[in-house]
Amino acid sequence: MCGIIGYVGRRDALDVLVGGLNQLEYRGYDSAGVALANGADEGAGSDADGAATVDVDVVKRAGELSALEAALEERRPSGTTGIGHTRWSTHGPPTDANAHPHTDEDGRVAVVHNGIIENYDRLKDELLAEGHRFESDTDTEVVPHLIERELEAGAPPETAVRRALEQLSGSYAIAAVVAGTDAVYAARNDSPLVLGIGEDGYYLGSDVPAFLEHTARVVYLEDGEFVRLTPDSWTVTSPDGNPVEKQIDTVDWDLEDTGKSGYDHYMLKEINEQPHALRQCLSGRVDELEGRVELAELDALLQDPPEAVQFVACGTSYHAALYGARRFRDRGIPAQAFVASEYATEAPPTGDRLVIGVTQSGETADTLSALREAQSRGVETLAVTNVVGSTAARECDHAMYIRAGPEIGVAATKTFSSQLVALNLLVEAVANGSRSGDRAQSDRVRERLAALRELPGQVQQILDESNAVDVARTYLDSSGYFFIGRGYNYPVALEGALKFKEITYEHAEGFPAGELKHGTLALVTADTPVIAVVTGDDEIARKTVGNVKEVEARDAPVIAVTDGRSDVERYADEVLEIPEAHPVTMPLLANTQLQLVAYHVANELGRSIDKPRNLAKSVTVE
Ligand code: AGP
């Protein structure tokens, strides 16, 4: 999981690269670096004869992008061709030496890479035996040496890069520059890479925001495709070298969508964008009068709706999947949610007509791997994703977009809410097609669709009125935090705890409310607030209030997230209110309060909210 940017054209490449890295830093922030492939540089070295040796000039630093920017103040390479990288470590610690770009011995080839080269050990041994010297612990460093070997054997640059790539196994998006050329060479296999077609040059990025400032015209690359960019041309070829006709798409994301718009953090901006994101998700898909959901993109799937579904997902998306599976079951369609990385190890139950991968990025390696496992068994797959053209969207038989807009903060917020809404739409659409509706059923569908319509306004009300900042300040110094909920609020308890620990670095756990007493209650003290999500006034709410009494009796401070319909407030030290709503939408409202609590605790503690330590926005390794 790293970020790649590349540029060839008429502009100063360094500005483009650093601008792109700023947009990509969410993908990894252990180190950053750039390589400029042409132009002169005052700080350049010279060879024994005193001739300038600068063809590929690399500057790279461990740490966040600011460390690289400081280094570039000291020494600024110039040129109009270059590549850049922001790293999330997989092989070797975050040091200057392990930072990308990596070069060959003479510094004539520079390479950036996202992914894992599985056979790098063998290749490295081979190259060491031939006398190549290595400076880093990374798998990536074999690549410039392989290119160097081909160049030394007389291959022209493009051929050298191609031949080097042919020797790799594993996952990669790779970009390379070679001294003496004004081209950027790139290829992808199992890692994202997008091409940008601009007026003043051509761009490469791990995702579109990397170059959205310059162009919205994009070309999505497929696995195995090879790209050559020069100032005047771009070509895409197949692994065997044949030209591939590519379509240019225009993305409709605003540049504004990828900036902070005055908020201190992307996470807070994205929490506040939820009303808009939810409207987008619903737009044009709901016929409330008829009580129907129309998902044009899933026409083929819905002609013969699945009898049973399985979900695969990770992290926050898994919590959305747990919720989605329950929604399907409530609608009479058997459904189960699996942690994607475990999916292949469990014998899938019978009747799995459709496997649904829930993935914001569409690039999470564990989820992709589970989807591929399903495909290998001949099962149809559907990606519920935010990123158009992502690997999941392209590889699955069907794709449904959650339309949340770009999410930059590592902590998923608006995309979780949008996933819940999208899954509600999906379940109604599948049930539309598979069940002949009786009148009572149709009325219930209409109620649920009306509830979805009300959600954006209700989320806005919470954002305007929340007292989460006060609650956060009161319980900053606690030794641990427990989140509990039942039914649809169980995934929300898990999500509340994940968000909390991810950005506050404090210990937090989420539980089904009834489960706490089976062991974990031993940890509950006056120093461990219990955040209880209690909505409605049904049996589930009553039982959850019973669990709240159990922790209250152990002196734990209770923070109730509630619509006020149960009597949980009697046992609560603090209340985070949500509007009364339909049972299927209340979890999303409760989650908004939990997002705000996590954000404010992290903010008070001075944490790196948008880029929490050790994490990355999308995890493209298994
Ligand atoms: C949550 O805040 C995290 N960013 C993480 O759990 C994330 O949801 C997970 O890595 C899955 O990502 P995806 O939705 O892009 O597949």
pLDDT digits over 273-319, tens only? 999 899 989 988 998 888 889 998 999 999 999 999 999 999 999 99
pLDDT digits over 591-621, tens only? 999 999 999 999 999 999 999 998 888 787 7
pLDDT of residue 437: 55
pLDDT digits over 537-582, tens only? 999 999 999 999 999 999 999 999 999 999 999 999 999 999 999 9
Report the atom number in ligand 1 closest to the C-alpha of 316. 8
Report the atom number in ligand 1 closest to the C-alpha of 618. 15
Supply the residue whose CA is at minimum distance from atom 5 of ligand 1. 315
pLDDT digits over 86-140, tens only? 997 777 788 999 999 999 999 999 999 998 888 999 999 999 999 999 999 999 9
Helix (H, G, I), strand (E, B) or coil at 593: helix
Largest Cα–Cα distance in the chain?
89
Torsion region of 271: left, alpha or beta (phi above 0 gives left; psi -120 to 50 gives alpha): alpha
Q: How far is CA 574 from CA 32, 93, 449, 485, 490, in A?
A: 44, 43, 32, 16, 20
Strands 102-103 and 109-117: antiparallel
Helix (H, G, I), strand (E, B) or coil at 103: strand
pLDDT of residue 544: 97
pLDDT of residue 58: 96
Report the atom number in ligand 1 closest to the C-alpha of 366. 16
> Distance from the CA of 317 to the center of ligand 1, in angstroms?
6
> Distance from the CA of 233 to the center of ligand 1, in angstroms?
36
Q: Tell the residue number behind the tokens 């070509």, with chain if given.
A: 235
44, pLDDT greater than 60: no
pLDDT of residue 256: 67
- The residue-averaged pLDDT of 374-380 equals 92
- The residue-averaged pLDDT of 363-370 equals 94
Strands 380-385 and 354-359: parallel
Report the atom number in ligand 1 closest to the C-alpha of 619. 10
Closest by alpha carbon to 454, among 597, 272, 584, 321? 584
> Distance from the CA of 618 to the center of ligand 1, in angstroms?
6
Helix (H, G, I), strand (E, B) or coil at 20: helix
Report the atom number in ligand 1 closest to the C-alpha of 313. 16
Identity of the amino acid at 158: E
46, pLDDT greater than 50: no
Pocket test for ligand 1, best of 390, 498, 619, 621 (most atoms within 8 A of CB): 619
Q: Tell the residue number behind the tokens 């500057």, with chain if given.
A: 59
Report the atom number in ligand 1 closest to the C-alpha of 367. 16
pLDDT of residue 41: 42
pLDDT of residue 118: 83
Identity of the amino acid at 528: T
Q: Which of 2, 281, 314, 396 is catalytic?
A: 2
pLDDT of residue 541: 97
Q: Which residues contact 464 (CB under 8 A, 6 or more apart)?
A: none
Contact predicate 168/186, CB 8 Å: no
Pocket test for ligand 1, best of 206, 265, 271, 360 (most atoms within 8 A of CB): 360
Supply the residue whose CA is at minimum distance from atom 16 of ligand 1. 359
- The residue-averaged pLDDT of 54-83 equals 92
The share of the chain scoring above pLDDT 90, in percent, equals: 77
Contact predicate 147/158, CB 8 Å: no
pLDDT of residue 187: 97
Q: Tell the residue number behind the tokens 């608006």, with chain if given.
A: 414
Q: Within 6 Å (CB) of ligand 1, which residues are found?
A: 314-317, 359-361, 364, 367, 410-412, 502, 618-619
Closest by alpha carbon to 59, among 85, 39, 24, 80? 85
> Distance from the CA of 417 to the center of ligand 1, in angstroms?
13
Helix (H, G, I), strand (E, B) or coil at 207: coil
The dihedral through the CA atoms of 47, 51, 57, 59 has a sign that is positive
- The residue-averaged pLDDT of 172-200 equals 94
Question: What is the band of 50 on the pLDDT scale with cuts at 50, 70, 90?
Answer: very low
Q: Which residues contact 339 (CB under 8 A, 6 or more apart)?
A: 312, 313, 314, 318
**Residue 575 tokens, joined:** 């209340």
pLDDT digits over 494-533, tens only? 999 999 999 999 999 999 999 999 999 999 999 999 999 9
| Residue 501 CB neighbours (<10 A) | 18
Supply the residue whose CA is at minimum distance from atom 8 of ligand 1. 316
pLDDT of residue 156: 96
> Distance from the CA of 617 to the center of ligand 1, in angstroms?
7
Report the atom number in ligand 1 closest to the C-alpha of 410. 4
Average pLDDT of the chain is 91
The dihedral through the CA atoms of 68, 69, 70, 73 has a sign that is positive
> Distance from the CA of 363 to the center of ligand 1, in angstroms?
10
75, pLDDT greater than 60: yes
Supply the residue whose CA is at minimum distance from atom 9 of ligand 1. 315
The dihedral through the CA atoms of 171, 173, 179, 183 has a sign that is positive
Pocket test for ligand 1, best of 26, 27, 88, 364 (most atoms within 8 A of CB): 364
pLDDT digits over 384-443, tens only? 999 877 889 989 999 999 988 888 899 999 999 999 999 999 999 999 754 555 777 888
Is 60 one of the catalytic residues? no
Distance CA 445, CA 433 (A): 13
Pocket test for ligand 1, best of 271, 318, 361 (most atoms within 8 A of CB): 361
Supply the residue whose CA is at minimum distance from atom 6 of ligand 1. 315
- The residue-averaged pLDDT of 337-342 equals 95
> Distance from the CA of 325 to the center of ligand 1, in angstroms?
18
Q: How far is CA 228 from CA 188, 231, 275, 484, 593, in A?
A: 12, 10, 42, 53, 48
Supply the residue whose CA is at minimum distance from atom 2 of ligand 1. 411
Q: Which of 60, 269, 611, 617 is catalytic?
A: 617
Overall pTM surpassing 0.85 (yes/no)? no
- The residue-averaged pLDDT of 468-489 equals 97
- The residue-averaged pLDDT of 33-37 equals 96
For residue 357, report the phi and psi dihedrals to the nearest 5 degrees. -95, 120
269, pLDDT greater than 70: yes
**Residue 469 tokens, joined:** 């900042």
Question: What is the band of 28 on the pLDDT scale with cuts at 50, 70, 90?
Answer: confident
pLDDT of residue 88: 77
Q: What ranges in 400-553 are assigned the alpha helix state H?
A: 414-434, 439-465, 468-474, 489-504, 539-552
Report the atom number in ligand 1 closest to the C-alpha of 315. 6
Contact predicate 531/483, CB 8 Å: yes
The share of the chain scoring above pLDDT 70, in percent, equals: 95
> Distance from the CA of 213 to the center of ligand 1, in angstroms?
25
Pocket test for ligand 1, best of 88, 270, 271, 314 (most atoms within 8 A of CB): 314
> Distance from the CA of 562 to the center of ligand 1, in angstroms?
26
Is 617 one of the catalytic residues? yes
> Distance from the CA of 313 to the center of ligand 1, in angstroms?
8
